[in-house]
Structure 1
Amino acid sequence: MTLNVQAENDVLPSKTEKQEPIAFDQLASRVLSGGEVTRDEALSLLSTSDDDLLPLLHAGFRIRQQHFGKTVQLYFLMNAKSGLCPEDCHYCSQSKISTAPVPKYNILKRDKLMDAAKVASESGAKTYCLVISARGPNEREMKAVEEIVPEIKSKYNLDICACLGLLSEEQAVRLKACGVDRVNHNLNTSEEYYADICTTHTYADRVDTLKRVRDAGMEMCSGGIIGMGERLEDIVSMAFDLKELGVKSIPLNFLNSIDGTPLEGNADLSPQDCLRALAMFRFVNPDRELRISGGREIHLRSLQPLGLYVANSLFVGDYLTTKGQAPQQDYDMIRDMGFEVTQSNC
């Protein structure tokens, strides 16, 4: 899949055809004045030519700078339970249909979770992300989270983001009570495309979980993955759905096509595609935290620093079952860009 495809019925011209230039700065000024971009305008941003990429990023930076200055917030992921998932998400190496050779273990013991929290704190992360592979947490896993979260916050004073799968109202309330600050549950793609990447639960199931998180008084963290064969319209639809839900933090992943998953071999994203998507998300969600997430090292490659002109957050270290670049490379990149890391509350 590439992001250079045309919209249905040739609504959008291809990048090789002459197009009317988009007034990026005027669009940014509208957003900075409290206005919004339309879905058609967002779609046009994804179809910007490579020659217009730098002006697009410059305009997006104006929005980023107003809301976040030149700060970058770091997140640290901990895969607290790996593999053993009964869902069939086609992108995931931990799903029941994956044959990828990933570690398989039940939720980790206290000491390992605390050791990871120490690494998160020492890495300059502000948020510790506690992740399990599951349709949703069972009672044993809920109790483990309820016990470890207060201890982590007491010792390291990190913000806690829990990613536990689908949640009931009662589970969301319990997570709030034990000190979880936000819950991650990605929409992953548009409602229209969702059945093409997962059949064991629905897009509506994910939206329901996010609403329960919101109703329980926690922040919603939700984003998606691009490069799974979706259309440009699907990416725009996801960006607007996240906006309408009021999601606070948006991680944008770029498909790391892992061998043994149904999406293995999908590697058609260019660095420019990724940057256009990040910029579009910034225009649509101007005051939301936007995180450059999994796959950035593979797809953005040497253009990773440019992503920080519109995004204001990164994962530091490794992901769930794949490796990230060395943390020192991230620190150097942030410093070389003239940005600074948002310090933790320690």
Structure 2
Amino acid sequence: MTQAPVTTEISADDVLTVAREQVLERGIGLSRNQVLDVLRLGDDRLGQLLELAHEVRVTWCGPEVEVEGIISLKTGGCPEDCHFCSQSGLFASPVRAAWLDIPSLVEAAKQTAKTGATEFCIVAAVRGPDERLMAQVAAGVEAIRNEVDIQVACSLGMLTQDQVDRLAAMGVHRYNHNLETARSHFPKVVTTHTWEERWDTLRMVRTAGMEVCCGGILGMGETLEQRAEFAADLAALEPDEVPLNFLNPRPGTPFGDLEVLPAADALRAVAAFRLALPRTILRFAGGREITLGDLGARQGILGGINAVIVGNYLTTLGRPAEQDLDLLGELQMPIKALNETF
């Protein structure tokens, strides 16, 4: 029998000292166990942790903040049972199936570009795209590229190799497919498909030359150990972007009665993920409004975040885009220009 390795707890000072030398000075992300040490830091160390994460972000990613807008091309009626999602057709949740037409899609891209955003993501609530959806996406991408100066991303669920190749040929810049949570926790979040199926799609996207956008949702009942595991999973994937969402419990879903993640825990996680992924775009996404509020949003942007989704999300309301843009101006953080995203 193999004996389990002996681990010793290190002090809060030592955790941050090690992180400063390893991540800030050498650009090497924290390991799974090191991330867990960070997640266990007390609230009295939170300010110091956020300052270090911000230093890491500026050092390895620069001062710019990438702005993105998202739009739902096909909403509701999804056959999967993701327990956090009101778009599942299996739950008694209020979102009904609907499609967005191409002119509306182009107009949404134009409005997003006016905010200074460089990314516009087309999202569909599906297990994976059928031929009708692929045709609609192709028409939408072409129309947007003809009329709007913005990068087009997509999030269409799990893909076949042929679909990956077709999206790449359309000029899709970045593909989003979230792992959602740690591999060990995934079966408690989704039962209609596997974590490995999502990983396979991401691998094909990377090979095809599209940028990989992959993150998840914090506050779905995972342990601190699983939160650290998730950070390590993402570090192994090496995505170009990691959107960090916080559970906004949706009525009628299996997770509808879960409590909102405490703000301090959310900020600790933001900083920990930055220290695990020093060179990655780390994006504030859904749920930050109810989890962090205005003050927490400011702390997060000063604690490792270097990208934001502006405006509304897929089924929940976000902050007005002007509020986020005003905050970035107040913090003297320049918005990344389109020619810097290639």
TM-score normalized by the length of structure 2: 0.93
Give the equivalent residue in structure 2 for 1:3. Answer: none
CA offset digits 1:129-169 (Å, max 9, x no partner): 10000000000110111122133123212111100000000
In the alignment, which of 31, 48, 57 is matched to residue 55 of structure 1?
Answer: 48
Contact 2:72 2:123 in 1 (8 A): yes
Contact 1:28 1:62 in 2 (8 A): no
Whole-angstrom CA distance in 1 between matches of 2:212 and 2:144: 20
Counterpart code for 2:329: R
Whole-angstrom CA distance in 1 between matches of 2:50 and 2:279: 16
Give the equivalent residue in structure 2 for 1:7. Answer: none
CA offset digits 1:261-303 (Å, max 9, x no partner): 1001212411111111011111111000000110001001121
How far has the Cα of 1:308 moved from its partner?
0.9
Give the equivalent residue in structure 2 for 1:6. Answer: none
Whole-angstrom CA distance in 2 between matches of 1:150 and 1:27: 45
How far has the Cα of 1:96 moved from its partner?
2.1
Whole-angstrom CA distance in 2 between matches of 1:254 and 1:228: 8
CA offset digits 1:201-221 (Å, max 9, x no partner): 000000001011111111110
Pair 1:90-2:83 in alignment: yes
Counterpart code for 1:35: I
Pair 1:200-2:192 in alignment: yes
Give the equivalent residue in structure 2 for 1:76. Answer: 69
Contact 1:91 1:261 in 2 (8 A): yes
Whole-angstrom CA distance in 2 between matches of 1:226 and 1:295: 9
Counterpart code for 1:100: S
In the alignment, which of 166, 175, 190 is matched to residue 174 of structure 1?
Answer: 166
SS across alignment from 1:162:
strand
Give the equivalent residue in structure 1 for 2:30. Answer: 37
Contact 2:311 2:317 in 1 (8 A): yes
Mind listing any 5+ residue stretches in structure 1 that lack a counterpart?
1-10
Give the equivalent residue in structure 2 for 1:283. Answer: 275
CA distance 1:40–1:323, shift in 2 (3 Å): same
Whole-angstrom CA distance in 1 between matches of 2:37 and 2:246: 20
Q: 1:260-339, aligned counterparts within 5 Å?
A: 260-301=252-293, 302-309=295-302, 310-339=304-333
Larger mean Cα displacement after TM superposition, 265-274 or 123-132: 265-274
How far has the Cα of 1:25 moved from its partner?
4.5
SS across alignment from 1:183:
strand
Between the two proteins, the alignment pairs up a number of residues equal to: 331
TM-score normalized by the length of structure 1: 0.92
How far has the Cα of 1:102 moved from its partner?
1.8
CA offset digits 1:36-86 (Å, max 9, x no partner): 422221101111111101110111111100123221111101011110100
Contact 1:121 1:344 in 2 (8 A): no
Pair 1:162-2:154 in alignment: yes
Contact 1:157 1:345 in 2 (8 A): no
Give the equivalent residue in structure 2 for 1:140. Answer: 132
Give the equivalent residue in structure 2 for 1:64. Answer: 57
Contact 1:158 1:345 in 2 (8 A): no
CA distance 1:82–1:178, shift in 2 (3 Å): same
Contact 1:131 1:163 in 2 (8 A): yes
CA offset digits 1:237-281 (Å, max 9, x no partner): 111111111211000100000111100121241111111101111
Give the equivalent residue in structure 1 for 2:248. Answer: 256
Whole-angstrom CA distance in 1 between matches of 2:71 and 2:17: 39
Give the equivalent residue in structure 1 for 2:237. Answer: 245
Runs of 4 or more above 6 Å deviation: none
Counterpart code for 2:314: L
SS across alignment from 2:98:
coil
Give the equivalent residue in structure 1 for 2:109. Answer: 117
SS across alignment from 1:128:
strand
Contact 1:225 1:254 in 2 (8 A): yes
Give the equivalent residue in structure 2 for 1:24. Answer: 16
Give identity over the alignment, percent.
38
Give the equivalent residue in structure 1 for 2:204. Answer: 212
Pair 1:183-2:175 in alignment: yes
Contact 2:128 2:156 in 1 (8 A): yes
Larger mean Cα displacement after TM superposition, 47-56 or 19-28: 19-28
